[in-house]
Amino acid sequence: MPNSVSTHQWSASDGVELAFHEVGQGRAVIVLHGLFSDADMNWIKFGHAERIAAAGFRVIMPDLRAHGQSAKPQEAAAYPRGILARDLRELVAHLGLTEFDLGGFSLGARTTVEAVGEGLKPRRAILGGAGLQGLKNWKRRKVFFLEAIARFDQVQRGDPHWLSVQFMKSQKVDRVATAHLLESFEDAFMDWLQAFTMPTLVVCGSEDEDNGSAEELAAAIPTASFVEIPGTHMSSVTKPELGEEIARFLSA
C-alpha cells in the first residue's frame, strides 16, 4: 500500500469495527469495492485512488463489513437487510461530510444505488461494473455466489464457479461472514434509480456482462452517461482507464 494512503478504524452503531482508507486532499469522493474484494484490490493496488487523488480529490475507500481490514462477525444477526447502505450512511455522518461524490464497483455500485435510493445525496455518482439486470435480479447473483461458497472445496476448473472460488482463495475470504452478508441483499427497487438526479457515470468493461447491460442501466437514468473501458468483470479493475474515467468525470 502506498505511503500516502492512511488507514482508519471506526465503530458502526452496532459496535462492529470497520476500516476505511484515504488518500489525497480536496472534495471527498467515497468509492466502494466489489464482493470478495477490498479497497486495496479495487482502488489502491492498480493506481485508481492515486489517479483520482491527483485530480484534486480526497478519496475515501471503506472496507465493507466482512471484507478487508473490517471486522467479519460470524453471527447472522450482524447482517440485517440493507446493512452495507446503513454502514455507508453512518460513515458519512462519522466523517461529517456534507458535500461528497459517491460510487462503487459491482457490489459497491449496488450499494451506491441502495444508499442513494434511500436518501443519500452525493454531488455526483459512479456505477462501475453494474448492469440493469444485475440490479433487477440480484437474487440470481446471490444464489450463484452462495453456491460457490457452499461448493468451495469441490469446484473444478471449467465449473462456472471456478473463477469466483479462485478469487475468494486469493483474497482469503471469510466464507461464513460473507455468506451471512449475501443473505442480507435483496433485489434493487427500480424506483431507487429515480433518486439519481445528479450527474452519474456508468462505467463498465467491454467484455463485462456479469451484471447485465451497463448501457441499459445508463439509459434508465436520465442524468447518466455511459463509458466503456477494456476488460471483463474481473480484469477491468486492473486497467488504468477505470481510474482515469472516474477522475475525468468527477473533474468535469
pLDDT in tens, the chain (252 residues): 445 999 999 999 999 999 999 999 999 999 999 999 999 999 999 999 999 999 999 999 999 999 999 999 999 999 999 999 999 999 999 999 999 999 999 999 999 999 999 999 999 999 999 999 988 888 888 999 999 999 999 999 999 999 999 999 999 999 999 999 999 988 788 899 999 999 999 999 999 999 999 999 999 999 999 999 999 999 999 999 999 999 999 999
Q: Where are the domains of the chain?
A: 6-251
pLDDT at 2: 47
b/e code 176-209 from CB counts within 10 Å (16+ = b)? ebbbbbbebbeebeeebbebbebbbbbbbbeebe
| CA 119 – CA 92 distance, rounded (Å) | 12
Of the candidates 143, 108, 106, 117, the one whose C-alpha atom is nearest the C-alpha of residue 29 is: 108
Of the candidates 42, 227, 211, the one whose C-alpha atom is nearest the C-alpha of residue 110 is: 211
pLDDT at 3: 53
Q: Facing residues of 203 across strands? A: 128, 227
pLDDT at 187: 79
pLDDT at 18: 98
For residue 78, give the amino acid letter.
A
* Cβ neighbours of residue 4 closer than 8 Å, sequence gap 6 or more: 23, 24, 50, 53
Q: What angle do CA 224, 118, 146 make, to 5 degrees?
A: 90
pLDDT at 1: 41
Helices (H), 96-184: 107-117, 132-136, 138-150, 162-171, 175-183
Determine if residue 158 is left, alpha or beta; phi over 0 gives left, psi from -120 to 50 gives alpha, anything else beta. left
pLDDT at 31: 98
| CA 131 – CA 109 distance, rounded (Å) | 10
Class of domain 6-251: alpha beta
DSSP 41: I
| CA 133 – CA 161 distance, rounded (Å) | 20
